[in-house]
Structure 1
Amino acid sequence: MSTDTQHVQGIVEAFAEQLVLFDPEQQAEVDRLAQTLQQLRDSLNGSYPRCRAAADAAAALVREKLGAESSETDESHLAALQKLARAFQGAIIEGKEEEILSFPEHLDPEGSTGPEGDELAAGVDQEIFAAYIAQQESALGDLEEYILEYEKHHDTDNLDAVRRLVHTAKGEAGVMGLGSIAEVCHGLEDYIQDQGQAISPDTLLAFKDWFQSAVEACRRDAHLPDTAAVMGLFTNEGEVQGPSAGAEGAASPAAPAAEASDDPLLQPVPISDPEITGEFISEAQEHFEIADENLLTLESDPDNLDAVAAVFRAFHTIKGTCGFLDLTPIAELAHKAENLLDEVRKENLTFRGEVVDATFSALDMLKKMVGQLEEALGAGAEYVPDPSLRQTFDFVNRIRQQPQAAAPSAPSPQAAPSTPEPASSEPESSAPAAPEPAPAASAGVSPSPEPSSAQPEPETAPAQGEPRKNGQKGMQIKQTMKIDADRIDLLLDTIGELVIIESIVTQDEKLSDLASPQLERNLAQLTKITRSLQDMGMSMRMVPIETTFRRMARLVRDLGKKSGKKVELEMVGKETELDKAMVEKLGDPLVHMIRNAVDHGIEPTPEDRVAAGKSAEGRIWLKAFHEGGSIHIVIEDDGRGLNREAIAAKAVERGIIESANGMSDEEIYGLIFAPGFSTAAQVTDVSGRGVGMDVVKSNIENLRGNIRIRSTPGEGTTFTLVLPLTMAIIDGMQIKVGSERYILPLLSIIQSFQPTKEMVATVVGKGETLPFRGRLLPLFRLSELFGVDDAETDPTQAIAVVVEDGGRQVALLVDELLGQNQTVIKSLGEAMGSIRGVSGASILSDGTPGLIIDVNGVVRMATNQGGGRST
């Protein structure tokens, strides 16, 4: 590379760097930028006609339109200059032809504007996109919870939390190139800012519903929902109820969305180096995570300067890399956010009120922009900045320049005393003008004469020579890895095979005959390591149930409003963990049960409750906890309770039972799970068709769980879902029936005993029965159900195992109990298909297969085959 070429490239890099740090209010910087452009123009030869003409035009624009003395300063000019810097780098540093590069139209007298990019580019990396979807689904729960809390208390803390989440969602949508989502998020931000105290929770929830629909559309690779209606909510508040995404309410027509702007800041940007850009996108996600973690720290500790510095460094690093890649829109916003945080570091601003909002807005927009960049990279297209960038950019810039605006938004007793107006402007006007700003400096905003004040500092170093306000250090962020779920499943399958082989080896009779202490110790160690691997592998799939629980809070709120009831939901144990596959499948059953609790459980009116000696507001509890090696999900209400007589009468009328005589309360209550069963006098759009509880029972059985019911008339009802910790492993009891062996799920077993001759009786219409805890249970012989010929036929020589199925208890007759163990579940495979009474298979300790019994299927088989009619 010649010296002249290096010289020109150095000027281009200087121009790009000055733009990243540029502050138009500093006349010295304006002059220096114009000089750099003129120097570039003079240094270019005939090989770069477009670059030379554009540099000349840009120098004139800087002198005429920018600077403290100009009344026409417009951020769009800065965006045009940043786009120009990218074009310069593409042509002069990367050697691309000028014709294929995108130049700002009014700064490109010699050529065209280059190819246009698509706002929503295709080809986003599927792993990153899946992570984005998961993140949004998690945020939806938080968003809804904050909105519901705001509706109750109308406090600014929850509203600020809503605004920050929306801002984050906007940024992440931008990162994915989802401009429509980003636009709507930005519209809500403006609505919150403009409405003040007149913010409607219904509008916030309508946005949440639209956002949920948009995320689901992304998951299904479908078209995003229309933005016009939801955008109309923000301008015609109260006229539109908002779109529905699984909640109540419907969308209404609204004003159309704003037209796209010709703002140079929003012009397409060519991706000059795809490989490095891809690395930047990956690294940016790590910086976003660091910023998120430290911003959460700052929410509870606004004076934690270590956390401020960590967020500052994240913005600074993103800015520097974007400058190198010619991603000027991202770099410029990161620079503005960095400047804002720099003011906080220097204690010219406090991290409260609008400063918090602006920081979160900048972070969210950066996430969104990086997402859009990734999408464009995958599609091989230009990067098109999100239209809402301009509003975010202006908002951040305004808050930095007007520190007094931060206080009224979120007053705090810990807030610093108000600072006189000149506090923000004086340092900028007095900042020394350096010939060439340091890469990490914020010369345009630094009130300190020390050139290193804006450099990334150690986390424990005090800012501006002042002592720390607290002794806390910056948060230590855990390193995480995103692994495809299929790989985890494969790992668990492999561990399962290891467990089986370990069991076969350790229980091999030939090895036990060796009587070797050393071998016994080695086998014991093998067992220990294998179980440890199994537990560790299972923990990788364990997630909190919190997200599913949070959905129920919104459901209760909407159902309460629709029915005119006052209902409060209290959640306990949201942090309880269970298999991710189970968490995802619990949503529908819980929705049905919560609907029933509100519609049928809680009294029709507050007056009815008061007349019954209760508070006017109904209460529903949703609890989760571990007990006895299983997960218990409890749905409890303080309403009317179940009506035993009404349920029994309806069941007799429907032919489900012949008579309720001799049936326990729990057995009667279990009848509500029968298909089509309902005691509702009137069908509503909430419940009453008799399909919900049947779905609940089917879903819980598919999860190998069961449901228990307790109810007290006039006091309320409690449903308890008892579920295994995971879908991959089952705690079971090995049983022997003739020469065959089966596995009964422990969760279904109540008790086992050996019947006496006096216990066994035959009742007309009911078949064989056994007395158990004061009532008669139907006795079913597994040997008859599964066609085992060599099984024990004398009940007094066999074992009766009492199991529970949906509140109904029955006794199964088996030959012998072989012991309890934990086994890995295997599918029967496509060749076997679905076998009644069998839910899967497992390899037993001797290497032979064993079938896992489906208790519900066995009971249905027995009933249909005449092995006894259950009441």
Structure 2
Amino acid sequence: MTIDMSQFFQVFFDEAEELLAEKEKLLLGVDVSSPDPEDLNAIFRAAHSIKGGASTFGLTDMSEVTHILESLLDKIRKGEMSLTAEHVDAFLAAKDVLKMQLDGHRLGSAVDLDAVGDVRMLLQSFVQEDFKPKASPAPALAPIAQATQPEEKYLHCFRVSFKGVKDADLTLLTSELALLGSASSEKNGEGQDSIVLQTNGTIDDILAVCSFIVDADNMLISEEKMLEASKAKELTEDELGYGFFEPIESMFPPEDKPIVEQAKSESAPVHDSNNNSSKNSVKKEAEKNAAGHESTTIRVGIEKVDQIINLIGELVITQAMLTQRTQDLDPVSNERLLSSVAHLTRNTRDLQEAVMSIRMMPMDYVFSRFPRMVRDLAHKLGKKVEFVTYGASTELDKGLIERIVDPLTHLVRNSIDHGIEMPTTRVENGKGEVGKLSLSAVHQGGNIVIEVCDDGGGLHREKILAKAKQSGLNVSDSMSDPEVWQLIFAPGFSTAEVVTDVSGRGVGMDVVKRNITQMGGVVDIRSARGFGTTITISLPLTLAILDGMSIKVGEEIYILPLGFVVESLQPQSEDIKEINGKGRVIKVRQEYLPLIPLFETFNIEPKHRDPANGITVIVEVDGRKAALFVDDLVGQQQVVVKNIESNYRKIPGISGATILGDGGVSFILDVAAILRSVR
């Protein structure tokens, strides 16, 4: 029976990428002088699984690299070769090559064949070198199995039988399976070629090794008694729950998951192992773990989640309409109806929060990218850096988490390049030669606060001011430290004396701030000379839902994002001053703020033209304040944000739109853009 394997490619791509990320994480944390056996086994399993899956799908370029990588890892984990820093560098380079090959198959991106060849030669040179074991070598690690067992004591004995296998392939299969334990080839009871394997591994491991050479549907795996391995009778398929497998059943199972999937397909019928009465305790435990795994996670396309969120948004709008329609009803005669509407409101709010949480992703998705970058950049600059993260489980909306990667990358690079000093300089200043760089994330109210903190030299006030004056910026020596620190976000600003491929061109920090501001966030800097710098980013948890203040200008209602609002007041005539050719300002507690009449900004006929008869709303963006002149305050509400640019076009001063309870459309103000236009 022929099965279209292309439908499973995406599963392989996703799982291979996860395995590569896990492999890199383990390599970056491994102690070269005394590696943890479990870490080495986990790294080996990752390479082993990728090789098996790549072979199943015919991706020979990946399977060739992982085959050499697996051989080298196997020598190290068995204590036949000592792990060195050079090995770790080679393994990380192999990870990069495998990721490049994976992207080439998945996205069609270019693959540097020279880089692939260099990595293969490097790995092969390590495999072929005659490394002498240590004087007191570590005990051999149990292949694949989690428990540490003496190499000669195996937990299982399997017979692997083949249909139509060549003698040369049988020899190769025997040598490959020998990596898992003690293997010998012979004939089974039916005269078929078979290999008897004593191992601490699992059936999944056997399948991964054999699928590199022979199709899974041409092999049969059965378990035999340890003491009578060569004479034991083969168990039937019904007794084992395993048989001659269709390709679908060998799809890259997780480590503890049985080969047979728990789902049934008409095109590829499989055995339901839950109905078997096998006494294999290892297999039962694996099924238990797999069942638990499948019951707690599910892969869903992001477009489906977005569709649900949009529908929930429409439900919220409909609920708001019902609430508004019932406000004028007699509460006595319509008590049951009003109670039902109130109940619907509560359920809608709970449903909205539950659905929005589906789009939330842990910050570890972002944080996990940096250990490798920090390691490579610190090595390149000749610095020693300890990188730590806090709050990796803190969640943020997927849309924001993807957009925060680039700003954080620039901030981390700056901390290593500009912040943390060279080891000799740190020692001269009474510090340890290893600098500390930390990334943290924590929820505060409706926001997430992300901090990039280093214990380096801190910002140099005088140097920044001198550079700002040289660049023609309007600065003075009386500026406060926070105001001086904000100067580094000016376009083209850089205090680096030498332009390198890391920094010095003055491009980046202005983009960082602009991107964060566009996400509705703010950036703050705290620094102490000689003690380090902390950059704090505050972001809303999601861009799909917004807490806003409804304001009225003429007959139009606008939504003002509540995060920008400081206060609202009704000014006195004497507090409003006219500046020739510069507009008007308003005095608020000894501070003069620019006054922005929104009816002029949007060319609307207002209800009031005199600010003393209307309302002013004080807003703040990036430490700068302004007063918005409006006719009335309508109220505060939570609104569902609709993208107006994709449905119409970009409108100056408008960031989006929402639908009100009466069915009307209301624009959401882009406060940052409005303040920039005034400046």
TM tier, smaller: 0.7 to 0.9
> Match for 2:21 among 141, 166, 169?
141
Q: Is the 8 A contact 2:305 2:358 kept in 1?
A: yes
Q: Is the 8 A contact 1:624 1:633 kept in 2?
A: yes
Matching residue of 2:659: 843
Residue of structure 1 in register with 2:124 after alignment: 235
Shift in alpha-carbon separation, 1:163–1:856, aligned structure 2, 3 A: farther
Aligned: 1:642 with 2:459: yes
User: Is 2:79 the partner of 1:211?
Assistant: no
Residue aligning to 1:220: 107
Letter in 2 for 1:574: A
User: Residues 697 and 806 of structure 1 are in contact (CA less than 8 Å); yes or no, is this contact kept in structure 2?
Assistant: no
Shift of 1:835: 1.6
Alpha-carbon distance in 2 for matches of 1:617, 1:474 = 43
Residues 1:705 and 1:341: Cα distance change in structure 2 (over 3 Å): farther
CA deviation after TM superposition for structure 1 residue 463, in Å: 6.0
1:624 maps to 441
**Aligned partners of 2:202, 2:415: CA distance in 1, in Å?**
42
The alignment's TM-score, normalised by the length of structure 1, stands at 0.59
Structure 1 CA distance for aligned equivalents of residues 430 and 276 of structure 2: 59
SS at match of 2:229: helix
State the structure with bigger RCO (CA 8 A, min sep 6), 1 or 2. 1
Contact 2:61 2:101 in 1 (8 A): no
Deviations 1:240-275 (A, max 9, x none): xxxxxxxxxxxxxxxxxxxxxxxxxxxxxxxxxxxx
The offset of 1:209, in angstroms, is 1.6
Is 2:475 the partner of 1:659? yes
Q: Does 1:725 align with 2:556?
A: no
- Quote how far apart the aligned CAs of 1:574 are: 0.9
Q: Which residue of 2 aligns with 1:784?
A: 600
Question: Contact 1:670–1:808 at 8 Å: present in 2 too?
Answer: no
**d(CA) in 1 for partners of 2:209, 2:397:** 33
TM-score normalised by the chain length of structure 2: 0.75
Deviation (angstroms), 1:702: 3.5
Distance 1:661 1:761 in 2: 28
Paired residues of 1:708 and 1:807 also in contact (CA < 8 A) = no
After TM superposition, give the deviation of residue 769 of structure 1 in Å. 4.8
In the alignment, is the contact (CA less than 8 A) between 1:333 and 1:362 conserved in 2? no
1:234 positional shift: 0.1
Measured at CA, do residues 658 and 477 of structure 1 come closer, stay the same or move farther in structure 2, by a change above 3 Å? Answer: closer
Does the Cα contact within 8 Å between 1:218 and 1:224 map onto a contact in 2? no
Spell out the pairing of 1:539-688 with structure 2 (5 A cutoff): 539-603=357-421, 605-655=422-472, 657-660=473-476, 663-688=479-504
Tell whether the 8 Å contact from 2:621 to 2:672 is kept in structure 1 after alignment. yes
Give per-residue Cα distances to partners, 1:479-504, cap 9 Å, x unaligned. Answer: 34433222221121111111111111
CA displacement at 1:597 relative to structure 2: 0.9
Larger mean Cα displacement after TM superposition, 180-189 or 455-464: 455-464
Q: Deviations over 1:175-226 (max 9, x none)?
A: 4442222221222111223452144221121112212222333342235442
User: 1:495 aligned to 2:312?
Assistant: yes
List runs of 5+ in structure 2 lacking aligned partners. Answer: 129-142, 164-168, 184-197, 243-271
Structure that is richer in helix per residue: 1
Question: Does the 8 Å contact 2:239/2:276 carry over to 1?
Answer: no
**1:595 Cα shift?**
0.5
Query: Which of the numbers 39, 56, 65 marks the counterpart of 1:158?
Result: 39
Q: Rate the CA distance shift 1:525–1:555 in 2: closer, same or farther, 3 A.
A: same
Match of 2:82 among 197, 200, 207: 197
Partner SS, residue 361 of structure 2? strand
Cα distance in structure 2, aligned partners of 1:512 and 1:333: 81
1:721-800 maps to which residues of 2 (within 5 A)?
721-755=537-571, 760=576, 768-769=584-585, 777-790=593-606, 792-800=608-616
2:65 match: 184
Evaluate the alpha carbon distance shift between residue 787 and residue 541 of structure 1 in structure 2; reply closer, same or farther with a 3 A threshold.
Answer: same
One-letter amino acid of the structure 2 residue matched with residue 428 of structure 1: A
Pair 224,165 (structure 1): closer, same or farther in 2 beyond 3 Å: same
1:214, 1:512 → 2: CA distance?
66
Displacement of 1:539 after TM fit? 2.0
Long gaps (5+) in structure 1? 1-89, 95-120, 240-294, 324-328, 344-353, 370-385, 402-422, 444-454, 864-871
Percent sequence identity is 36
**Secondary structure in 2 matching 1:507:** helix
Q: What letter is aligned with 2:427? A: V
- Rounded Cα–Cα distance in structure 1 between residues aligned with 2:636 and 2:59: 53
Per-residue CA deviations over 1:133-160 (Å, capped at 9, x if unaligned) read 3434433432222111115765234333
**Counterpart of 1:722 in 2: which secondary structure?**
strand
Cα–Cα, structure 1 residues 500 and 232, in superposed 2: closer, same or farther, change >3 Å?
same
Specify the SS of the correspondent of 1:142: helix
1:528 alignment partner, one of 346, 369, 373: 346
The structure-2 alpha-carbon separation of the partners of 1:359 and 1:461, relative to structure 1 and needing over 3 Å to count, comes to closer
CA contact (8 A) 1:138 1:547 kept: no
8 A contact 2:240–2:276 mirrored in 1:
no
Distance 1:507 1:662, change over 3 A: farther
Change (3 A) 1:177 1:541: farther
Which one of 505, 509, 529 corresponds to residue 713 of structure 1? 529
Choose 1 or 2 for highest CA Rg. Answer: 1
Matching of residue 124 in structure 1 with residue 6 in structure 2: yes
Match of residue 504, structure 1, among 302, 306, 321? 321
How far 1:475 sits from its partner (Å)?
Answer: 6.8
Give, in angstroms, the shift of residue 232 of structure 1: 1.4
Code of the aligned partner of 2:538: V
Q: Which of the residues 229, 234, 245 maps onto 1:428? A: 229
1:718 aligned counterpart, secondary structure:
strand
State the Cα deviation string for residues 601-629 of structure 1 (Å, max 9, x = none).
Answer: 112x1232233333221111111121111
Q: Tell me the matched-pair count.
A: 595
